[in-house]
Amino acid sequence: MFNWLRRKDREPELVEADEASGEGTELSGAAAEAGLSEEELAEEALTAVPEDELVLEEQEEEREASLEESLAKTRGGFFSRIKGLFNRKTEITEEFYEELEELLIQADVGVMTTQRLIEALRERVEDDNIRAIDGAREAFRDEMAGFLEDESEGLRLAQPVSLLLIVGVNGVGKTTTIGKLATYLKGAGHSVLLAAGDTFRAAAIEQLQAWGSRAGVPVIAHQPGSDPSAVIFDAIAAAEARGVDVVLADTAGRLHTKFNLMEELRKVSSVAGKRLPGAPHEVLLIVDATSGQNALIQAKQFTEVSPVTGLIVTKLDSTAKGGIVFAIRDELGLPIKFVGTGEKISDLAPFDAGRFVGGLFD
Amino acid sequence: MIKRAGVKKGPTAWLDLAAMFEALSDRLEGVFSKLRGKGKLSEADVDIALREVRLALLEADVNFKVVKDVQNRIREKTIGEHVMESLTPAQHVVKIVHDELVELLGGGQRRLEMAGSPPTVVMLVGLQGSGKTTSAAKLALHMRKQGRRPLLVAADVYRPAAIDQLTQLGKQLSVPVYSEPAGAKPPDICANAVKKAREDADDLVILDTAGRLQINHELMAELEQIKARVPVTETLFVADAMTGQEAVNVAQEFHSHVPLTGLILTKMDGDARGGAALSIRAVTGVPVKFVGIGEKADALEPFYPDRVASRILGMGDVLSLIEKTQEHLDQQKAAELEKKMRTATFGLDDFLDQLQQIKKMGPLTQVMEMIPGMSGLARKLGPGQFDESQLKRVEAIIYSMTPGERRNPRILDGSRKRRIARGSGTTPHDINQVINQFSQMQALMKQFTRGRIPKHIRRMMSQGGGTAGLPGLPGL
C-alpha cells in the first residue's frame, strides 16, 4: 500500500521520457520488491478509489454548478432570445421564421445548417398542422435536440492503456483542456499520464507541466523542438510500465492549412497506432466556442489526417454561442464529448444534449 | 426530424461544403447568366445578387448586423447603375461590393502611433487564445527592424507558463523581457516595466496582458488600472481571424473599458475568411493595423484592406500571391526562361528550376488558395492531394540524368531509363510519366508562345474563374 503511494508521489518528478522508460522498469522493480504483482497493483488502485470518491462528489457538484452557471450565461445571450422570440410571437408568420433565422445565424450556426433547421421546422409545422406558437416551440426543440443527441456515450477507453489525442488549431485551449480532462478522469478512478506533444510553442511544455502538477498527474516530456511522435511513443511505454490506463497527449496547435504540420499529426497518429494497437482511441478536436464557420473546415481537415472521434467545446463561459457545433454535427456527424466552461481545473463537464437543448426553451 | 447530413451523405457532404465556399463571383455568374446582355441593373437583378452577397458575407463570419448594413449601402449604389462595358453584370456587382468592403476596412491610421516623449507604450488585449503573446513578440521584432528599442512585458500572471513563453520568445529574438516573480499584480508590473524602460532608454514598451473574457468585470477593471498607471499610447485588440459572430460584441465591450486604437488580426495564414475584421472595424471604427500570418516571429504584416476584402468575398488573395511570386522568383531566371520558351530550347533542367521556384512559394495548396476561383478546388482536393513528395521524386529522377539527357530527353531508351530508375529509386514507369508530363508542357509552351491558348487550357482557366477581368485586380 505504501509502496504504491510512494510510487505515486514520485511520479510528477519524472519529466524526461528517456529517463521515464528506465524509471518505469525501476518502478516495476520496486513493486516486485514489495511483493506486489501487476494485478495487485491494479487492485490497490481500485481500492484506493472510494477515498477519492468523496472528493469526486464534491467536485461533481461544483462542476454541475459551474456548468449550469456557464450555460445560463450562454443562454442569457442567444438562447434567451430564442426563448423570447417564441414567447413574444403569437402566430407562426414569415416574420417569425425570419427572426428565428437571424438568431441562429448570429449564434454561428451557419447559413446552411440554419436553413436546414428552419426548413425542418416549416415541414413539421405543415405536416402536423401546427397553428399555435407553443406547438412550434415543441417542434423546434425536437429538431435542435435531434441535431445534438448522441449514440456513443462518453469516451471510448480500452484496456489496459488508452491514448487520447488532443488536437486543434492554435489558441483553442488544448493544454488547458488536458489539465481539466486529467482531473476529470482521475476523479472517475482512472490513472492518467500526460504526454507533452506540443514541442513547438515556446513554454508549451512548462504549461502542461503546470497543469500536470495541479491535477497531480505525471507528465512525460522531451526537449522543445523534438519529435512529438517520439514523446507520445515514450508516454505509452511509460504508461504501460507504470500501469497507468489513460494517456492524454497534447499536440501543438496547427492551422489545418499547414500541410507539413498536418502530416506530422498523421505521423503521430500512426506511430501511436503501431506502438499501441487501436491507438489513438479517441482523437478529440478542441473547438473554441467563439469560432465561426471556419471551425467546420478545421474539423474536416483534421479528420483527414487523424480521424476525429469527438469534439470538446471550450470557452462556453464566454458570450459566444458555440452554434458552430450544430453545423459541425450537421455536416460531419461528430459528437460533442465535453464542454469547457471556465479557467478552473474543474470547469469541464461531459456534454449532455438533453440538458443543453432542454434548457433552451424553459 | 432532420437527417444528419454527415451521417447520411458520408464523404460527399464535403463536396457540397466546398461548393458552398465557392467564390461569390462564381455564384453571381450563375445567377446572372440569364441576364447577360442587359445594360442596366434592375431592382430585381440587384435583389437576387444581394442575396448571394449576403450569404457570402455571412459565410465569411461578417456580423449579421454589419451584413445588413452593407447590403443596404450596396443596394443604393447598384440599382439603376449602368454596367461598365468591360464587365458582366456579375462582375460589376462584385466590383461594387469589393469597393465597398475596401472602403469599410480601410481608413484610419494604420501605423503605430509614437508617444511624444518616449517610451511609447503599446498594450495588447483580447480573449484567451487570440494570439497576444505571439503577436507581442512579432511586434517587438517588427518595430526593432524600424530602429526602435522594444521591451516586452509579461503582464499575464494567470495562464500557466505564460511568462515563460514570453521570456523564451524574447530570448529567441534577443529582445529584453520584463517580468516579476509570482504574486505581483499586473498594474504594478507594467508601471515598473515602464520605469525600467526609461532607465534603459528603451523607447517602446509592449504589454502582453492576460487573455480575458469581456464579461469578467474584475479582469476588465485590471486593464483600466494598468491604463491609469502607465501612459498607454496604443491599445491594440488582438482578434483571431477565425472568430465568429460574437467578435463584434467582444470588441465593443473591450472598447468601452479601454478605448481601443487598433486591431491585430491573427491566424490569417489559415483559410478563415476574416469577416471578423470587417465587423469589428465597422462597428468600433478602430483600424486594423497588423495581420499575423504565421507562427514565425517575422510573420506579421501591415494590413491591406483590398486583400482582406477579396478574401472575405472568397476571391482569393491575388495580390499576396503576386507578391509571394515576386519575392521568390528569380527575375533573371525568369527572363532566361522566357527566352528558352521562345526558342523552344526548354529542357528538363529548366523544368526542374521551375519546380523548385514553385516549391519555394510554399505548399501548393496554399498557393492555389490565393488564386481566384481556385480556392474551392484547393479545398476540394484537400492538403493531401498535392503530394509534395511527388515533386521530390521528379527532382530525384531529373538529378539522375546526365546533362545531355536533361537537354534532350528524346535520347532516353530502355537501358538509360533503367539506369535512371535505379539512381532515383523509382521505376521506368515513373520516368515515362515525368517525360510525358514534360513533353506536354513543352507542346503547351510552343502554343503559348505562338499566342494560341489551347481550348482545354482555356476551359480550365475559366472554370470558376469569373474574376478574370475584374478591374482592381490584375488579370490572372
pLDDT digits (tens, 9 = 90+) for B121-136: 999 999 999 999 999 9
**Long-range interactions of B225-229: CB distance < 8 A, separation 24+:** B225/B186, B225/B187, B226/B123, B226/B155, B226/B186, B226/B187, B226/B190, B227/B123, B227/B258, B228/B187, B229/B187, B229/B188, B229/B190, B229/B191
CA distance A301 to B363: 15
Q: Amino acid identity, residue A254?
A: R
Confidence of residue B364 (pLDDT cuts 50, 70, 90): low
At B67, which CATH number?
Answer: 1.20.120.140
Q: In this model, does residue B451 exceed pLDDT 90?
A: no
Give the per-residue pLDDT at A345: 92
Residues B299 and B445 in one domain: no
Give the per-residue pLDDT at A82: 78
**Residue scoring higher pLDDT (A265 or B365):** A265
**Residue scoring higher pLDDT (B474 or B106):** B106
| Boundary of a domain, candidates B105, B130, B165 | B105
Radius of gyration of chain A (CA): 23
**Total domains, chain B:** 3
Dihedral pair phi/psi, residue B427, rounded to 5°: -120, 160
DSSP A193-257: EEE----SSTTHHHHHHHHHHHHT--EEB--TTS-HHHHHHHHHHHHHHHT--EEEE------TT
Which residues of chain A neighbour B214 with C-beta distances below 8 Å?
319
Distance from CA of A207 to the nearest CA of B (A): 5
- The DSSP letter of residue A1 is -
**Average confidence (pLDDT) over B70-84:** 82
CA distances from A280 to A220, A269, B370, B383 (A): 17, 6, 34, 22
Q: What percent of chain B has pLDDT over 70?
A: 70
**Residue scoring higher pLDDT (B316 or A139):** A139
Residues B245 and B275 in one domain: yes
Q: In this model, does residue A282 exceed pLDDT 50?
A: yes
Residues B387 and B295 in one domain: no
Task: Tell whether B113 is covered by a domain.
Answer: no
Mutate to test the interface with B, among A117, A205, A291, A296 (most CBs of B within 10 A): A291
Residues B424 and B277 in one domain: no
Describe the strand order of the beta sheet including A348-350 as a list of residue ranges.
A219-220, A192-195, A246-249, A162-167, A282-288, A310-314, A336-340, A348-350
Contact between chains at A331 and B246 (C-beta distance less than 8 A) = no
Residue that has been written with the C-alpha cell 492554435 in this structure: A170
Q: In this model, does residue A64 exceed pLDDT 70?
A: no
Give the per-residue pLDDT at B370: 53
CA distance B271 to B363: 13
Grid cell locating B284 = 468600433
Asked if residues B246 and B126 have their Cβ atoms less than 8 Å apart, the reply is no
Contact between chains at A330 and B272 (C-beta distance less than 8 A) = no
Task: Tell whether B195 is covered by a domain.
Answer: yes
Grid cell locating A344 = 478552473
Q: What percent of chain A has pLDDT over 70?
A: 74
Task: Tell whether B9 is covered by a domain.
Answer: no
Task: Tell whether B112 is covered by a domain.
Answer: no
Task: Tell whether B21 is covered by a domain.
Answer: yes
The secondary structure element, H or E, covering residue A176 is helix A174-187
Asked if residues B187 and B226 have their Cβ atoms less than 8 Å apart, the reply is yes
Which residues of chain A neighbour B14 with C-beta distances below 8 Å?
300, 331
Does B244 touch chain A if contact means CB atoms closer than 8 Å? yes
Least confident of A31-35, A227-231, B7-11, B35-39: B7-11
- Mean predicted lDDT score pLDDT of chain A: 79
**Average confidence (pLDDT) over B104-119:** 87
Does A225 touch chain B if contact means CB atoms closer than 8 Å? no
Q: In this model, does residue A214 exceed pLDDT 70?
A: yes
Q: In this model, does residue B182 exceed pLDDT 80?
A: yes
Q: What percent of chain B has pLDDT over 90?
A: 40
Count CB pairs under 8 A between chains A and B.
Answer: 195
Q: What is the ipTM of this complex?
A: 0.76
Residues B451 and B345 in one domain: yes
At B162, which CATH number?
Answer: 3.40.50.300
Over residues B191-240, the pLDDT tens digits come to 999 999 999 999 999 999 999 999 999 999 999 999 999 999 999 999 99
**Residue scoring higher pLDDT (B32 or B60):** B60
Confidence of residue B325 (pLDDT cuts 50, 70, 90): low
The secondary structure element, H or E, covering residue B236 is strand B232-240
Residues B92 and B43 in one domain: yes
Q: In this model, does residue B150 exceed pLDDT 80?
A: yes
Grid cell locating B181 = 516573480
CA distance A122 to B277: 34
In chain B, whose CA is at the least distance from the CA of A106? B245
pTM, full prediction: 0.72
**Average confidence (pLDDT) over B88-93:** 74
| Boundary of a domain, candidates B278, B303, B328 | B303
Grid cell locating A132 = 399555435
Residues B344 and B244 in one domain: no
Q: Which of residues 58-87 of A touch B (CB under 8 A)?
A: 73
Dihedral pair phi/psi, residue A190, rounded to 5°: -90, 155
The secondary structure element, H or E, covering residue A313 is strand A310-314
| Half-sphere exposure for A169 (CA within 13 Å, toward CB) | 34
Give the per-residue pLDDT at B475: 27
Give the per-residue pLDDT at B193: 97
Residue B198 buriedness (CB in 10 A; 0-12 / 13-18 / 19+): middle
Which residues of chain B neighbour A255 with C-beta distances below 8 Å?
267, 269-270
At B466, which CATH number?
Answer: 1.10.260.30
Contact between chains at A290 and B4 (C-beta distance less than 8 A) = no
Task: Tell whether B308 is covered by a domain.
Answer: no
The secondary structure element, H or E, covering residue B432 is helix B428-449
**Residue scoring higher pLDDT (A225 or A83):** A225
List the domain range (segments joined by +) for residue B343. 318-474
Residues B256 and B338 in one domain: no
3-state helix, strand, coil in chain A (%, to 5): 60, 10, 30
Residues B93 and B147 in one domain: no
Confidence of residue B387 (pLDDT cuts 50, 70, 90): low
In chain A, whose CA is at the least distance from the CA of B52? A111
Nearest CB among A142, A209, A293 relative to B61 is that of: A293
Contact between chains at A258 and B169 (C-beta distance less than 8 A) = no
Mutate to test the interface with B, among A70, A170, A336 (most CBs of B within 10 A): A170
Over residues A314-334, the pLDDT tens digits come to 998 877 777 888 888 888 889
Q: In this model, does residue B473 exceed pLDDT 60?
A: no
Distance from CA of A360 to the nearest CA of B (A): 18
Residues B275 and B401 in one domain: no
Over residues A342-355, the pLDDT tens digits come to 888 999 988 877 76
| Boundary of a domain, candidates B273, B303, B333 | B303
Residues B171 and B255 in one domain: yes
Residue that has been written with the C-alpha cell 506502438 in this structure: A275
In chain A, whose CA is at the least distance from the CA of B367? A257
Least confident of A123-137, A272-286, B297-311, B355-369: B355-369
Q: In this model, does residue A287 exceed pLDDT 70?
A: yes
Residues B148 and B242 in one domain: yes
Residue that has been written with the C-alpha cell 530527353 in this structure: B409
Task: Tell whether B4 is covered by a domain.
Answer: no
List the Cα angle A293/A294/A295 in 5-degree steps: 90
Confidence of residue B45 (pLDDT cuts 50, 70, 90): confident
Give the per-residue pLDDT at A80: 64
For strands B262-266 and A192-195, give the pairing.
unpaired
Task: Tell whether B11 is covered by a domain.
Answer: no
Over residues A230-246, the pLDDT tens digits come to 999 999 999 999 999 99
